Amino acid sequence: MAPEHAAPPTAPPPPAGPLLTMSGITKSFPGVRALDGVDLEVLPGEVHCLLGQNGAGKSTLIKVLAGAHQPDGGRITWGGETVALKSPIAAMRLGIATIYQELDLVEGLSVAENVFLGHEPTTAGFVVRGRTARTSAAALLARLGHPEVDPGRLVGSLSAAQQQIVSMARALSHDVRLIVMDEPSAALDPDEVDNLFRIVAALTADGVAVVYISHRLEEIRRIGDRVTVLKDGRAVAVGLPARDTPTRDIVSLMTGRNVEHAFPQRPQPVGQTSAAPVLSVQGLARQGEFEAIDLDVRPGEIVGLAGLVGSGRSEILETIYGARRPTSGHVVVDGNRLRTGSVRAAVRAGIGLAPEERKAQALLMLESVTRNVSVSTLSRFSRGGWIDRGTERSAAQQATRKLSLRPDRPEARIRTLSGGNQQKAVLARWLLRGCRVLLLDEPTRGVDVGARAELYAVIRRLADEGLAVLLVSSEVPEVLGLADRVLVLREGRLVHTAPAHELDEHRVLDLVMEGSPAA
Amino acid sequence: MTHSDVSDASEVKPQDGITSPPHKSGRRPLGLRLDLRNLSLLGVLAVLIAVGGITKPDQFLDTGNLQLVLTQASVIGVVTVGMTFVIISGGIDLSVGAIVALASVWATTVATQEYGFAGILFTAVIVGTACGLVNGVLIAYGRLVPFIATLAMLASARGLALQITGGTTQIVTVDSVLDLGIPDAYVLGIPPLVLVFALVTVVGWLILNRTTFGRRTVAVGGNAEAARLAGIDVRRQRLYLYLLSGLCCGIAAFMLIVLSGSGQNTNGNLYELDAIAAAIIGGTLLTGGRGTIVGSVLGVLVFTTITNIFALNNLQSDVQQIAKGAIIVAAVLVQRRTVRDEHA
């Protein structure tokens, strides 16, 4: 499966010491410990793959490496010397370049201007007009196998793959010794991926080290030298051989739980309720995101959607909720077809969403718990627009108490709460509204491991009371442990449906990664 | 705007036991409190009054002068109340001064004056509200950036005002309007315009703090995406907000007509800057999501008092402008520290 042109150097890396070592790196954000003592060692000229599920700490780690986040603790050495990466510029000066998933290019500037942004070739302190920059940029682009990209063109007019090449040219315009690539293949066609691998091989042949992040195991086998696996903010395996470690082992390292969560008991007739579905999604599709999605959720049932990032999970939930307009298909609640693309229609029909990005999409961070909970139900507490704040407060408090939200102080500012309690406030909002269908997008993201079990119990309790729950999670054990029925999603299509107790983690991971039921 | 949100209890029943009778919550009566920021503004105002009283004891503390200060504060104050709502929602209204000008000249044309008091008041309010409606439609449904939409309104409304007057001052001949401005009309020594300002302030405070409209304004400004996903009609809310600002401009235009006895196309010059500045030093976040009516009113009073003290001390307007600039910077620096402390 490895084409000849992408064959990495077979000789072991030069015996020189490691280019980079990170040891015991810790980093916390309010409410969550993102890195909990991570070690990483990168040799000159190797492709070092970083693997881990969402939330394992990969992004935080590479941001520390890029100087964008300051670690709380730990030690970083570069070529044997201890260094502090105080800023992105400091990292760049050492020769560390990062190519982020969301490319950080300025669309209104030309290719050449982007490549040399911040270090334009100048004479006497003045920016030299175009020519030098354009010639050098053209040389870099040719070296990257894309001589057809005109350095004078605006970056905004380029394709995603070309933009990525520009980003790489920018990295190479510095004297770079380590390039971090965050899922570089995610937006690429297969032959573009081949070109990417050719570039990586050429770089490493020059002694440049590459830290390569990808979800696709087959890519790691093709170009990787060694693998470090992250899980829950820790490195669970450091420097495994990329080609010889069995997939099974890597998968269990990625998913193996340090803490076994107590998942609540399922009600006895598992997934066998004969009641009519509350939520019924028929032929829902959105161009380029997902297609032909059919699913039903019955009262009291928790249905889980499992899939990788980019498989369309969140997009499906947001489309059901009306926050995105489908290109075809529709959503039916209690037999009534909803107007598509209208959040208000969905909310009125009794759908509630706990979105993936809690702070950006759900919470009013400057406001109190009560106001965050009551925001979707204001007219129930008001007459002629006049809010009865006593009723509002006590009703909101009753909802938050039912979910054991702590602290039990309605005036507490929402931002002072932990991630788990903030999530409970979002759930309380929909509980208060009396919604019948709950869409949960990564409900335990940013929630401490210890607080998750309680959240699981809350979700199960809501289902037992008759809510229909549709759950999306990138953590397979969460879907398997919490849901009654699991739908497996790969690249925007449903590839498998089964009761949760008939599936296990390996099987689901095989399905989401390989797409073939034959494991 | 009162029954517009998504919930209607007839369709969606609340979960058992969630709605319950209100319980006595033992909170401050009316929930009124002066936060730290407003207290510090009160402190600044007290210092200013002391300075005025010391430098020009006879003139500054004279009843007539205090009445004048309050009256001047009233016109810009009404505009500032509307502006505060817009800024809390994350928007901006650059057109307030121009709308005041247009409304004031439209309401003082010969034709309008034939309809007397009611005609002038009605025209001023309608013209202001209509301009706000145009702003709101462009921003909410035309998806123009507020800065651009209201900048365009600023230019066109001023132009239209000039076209109507031809550059002349339109003298008001309706006595019942002019009578509101003379001391005989003062209620217990308080000019009627000040009473209007007080009324607008109280109503604005109630709307912001006690109604669904106010709550949604804060939600839209604090996190528009979260508001949308919570089922709030963000666009309609934005429309209403610019409408409200236009309405305030219309009221202010009428007050200005009473005060000056005329309508001019140069009326309301730079009101947008004064109103924005007053709201900002009053603690309204320019990024939206937080602000108080009380703070904005205090901001207006601080500015007007400074202007008065400087004038009494024969300091020219250039010095006044410099002082105002310094106060804006100081207030924002203090605020940023406060916000940071709260986030820590």
Does the residue B222 lie in any domain?
yes
Of B255, B285, B294, residue with least CA distance to B271: B255
A399 part of contact set with chain B, CB < 8 Å: yes
Query: Count of domains in chain B?
Result: 1
Nearest CA in chain A to B227: A362
Assigned CATH topology for domain A20-255: Rossmann fold (3.40.50)
Answer whether residue A382 shows pLDDT above 50.
Answer: yes
Q: Range with the lowest mean pLDDT among A125-134, A431-440, B238-247?
A: A125-134
Q: What amino acid occupies position A488?
A: V
pLDDT reported for residue A258: 45
A464 part of contact set with chain B, CB < 8 Å: no
Mean of pLDDT over chain A: 85
pLDDT-based confidence at residue B187 (cuts at 50, 70, 90)? confident
Q: pLDDT tens digits, residue range A500-509?
A: 889 888 888 7
Nearest-CB residue to A375 (from B3, B8, B219): B219
Q: Is A343's CB within 8 Å of B3's CB? A: no
Answer whether residue B290 shows pLDDT above 60.
Answer: yes
The domain segmentation of chain A, as residue ranges, is 20-255, 279-513
Q: pLDDT tens digits, residue range A166-189?
A: 988 988 888 899 999 988 877 677
Does the residue B226 lie in any domain?
yes
Report the distance separating Cα B333 and Cα B200, nearest Å. 29
- Chain B residues touching residue A387 (CB < 8 angstroms): 210-212, 215
Mean of pLDDT over chain B: 86
- For A199, other C-beta atoms within 10 Å of its C-beta total 21
pLDDT reported for residue B221: 94
Of A79, A85, A152, residue with least CA distance to A112: A152
Give, in words, the CATH class of A279-513. Answer: alpha beta
Does the residue B19 lie in any domain?
no
- Chain A residues touching residue B290 (CB < 8 angstroms): 366
Does the residue B252 lie in any domain?
yes
Does the residue B18 lie in any domain?
no
Report the distance separating Cα B145 and Cα B150, nearest Å. 9
Does the residue B23 lie in any domain?
no
CA distance to partner chain A, nearest, from residue B226 (Å): 4
Answer whether residue A310 shows pLDDT above 50.
Answer: yes
pLDDT reported for residue A406: 86
Does the residue B269 lie in any domain?
yes
A336 part of contact set with chain B, CB < 8 Å: no
Report the distance separating Cα A25 and Cα A64, nearest Å. 9
Q: pLDDT tens digits, residue range B121-170?
A: 999 999 999 999 999 999 999 999 999 999 999 999 999 999 999 989 99
Which one of A342, A382, A389, A426 makes the best mutation probe of the B interface by having the most chain B beta carbons within 10 Å?
A382
A398 part of contact set with chain B, CB < 8 Å: yes
Q: Where are the alpha helices (DSSP H) in A80-189?
A: 88-94, 111-115, 131-143, 160-173
Kindly state the average pLDDT of the residues A380-397.
92
Nearest-CB residue to A434 (from B14, B215, B219): B14
Does the residue B75 lie in any domain?
yes
Report the distance separating Cα A365 and Cα A367, nearest Å. 5
Report the distance separating Cα B324 and Cα B317, nearest Å. 10
- Chain B residues touching residue A348 (CB < 8 angstroms): 6-8, 11-12, 231
Nearest CA in chain B to A399: B18
Q: Is the pTM of this model over 0.80?
A: no
Report the distance separating Cα B176 and Cα A107, nearest Å. 61
Strand A20-29 versus strand A382-383 pairing type: unpaired
Residue range of the domain that includes B114? 3-9+30-342
Which one of B212, B236, B292 makes the best mutation probe of the A interface by having the most chain A beta carbons within 10 Å?
B212
| H or E element in which residue A30 lies | none
Of A462, A369, A351, A355, residue with least CA distance to B15: A462
Which one of A371, A376, A464 makes the best mutation probe of the B interface by having the most chain B beta carbons within 10 Å?
A376
Kindly provide the ipTM of the predicted complex, given to two decimals.
Answer: 0.80
Residue B110 burial by Cβ neighbours in a 10 Å radius (0-12, 13-18, 19+): exposed
Whether A51 and A238 have beta carbons less than 8 Å apart is answered as: no
Kindly state the average pLDDT of the residues A272-283.
84
CATH code of the domain in which B274 resides: 1.10.3470
Of B226, B341, B238, B306, residue with least CA distance to A375: B226
Q: Which residue in the block uniquely carries the two structure tokens 């339109």?
A: B170
| Residue A156 neighbours by CB under 8 Å, 6+ apart | A107, A108
Q: Is A431's CB within 8 Å of B218's CB? A: no
Provide the 3-class DSSP secondary structure of residue B171.
Answer: strand
Of A199, A207, A183, A170, residue with least CA distance to A88: A170
- Chain A residues touching residue B211 (CB < 8 angstroms): 382, 385-387
Of B90, B46, B85, residue with least CA distance to B225: B90
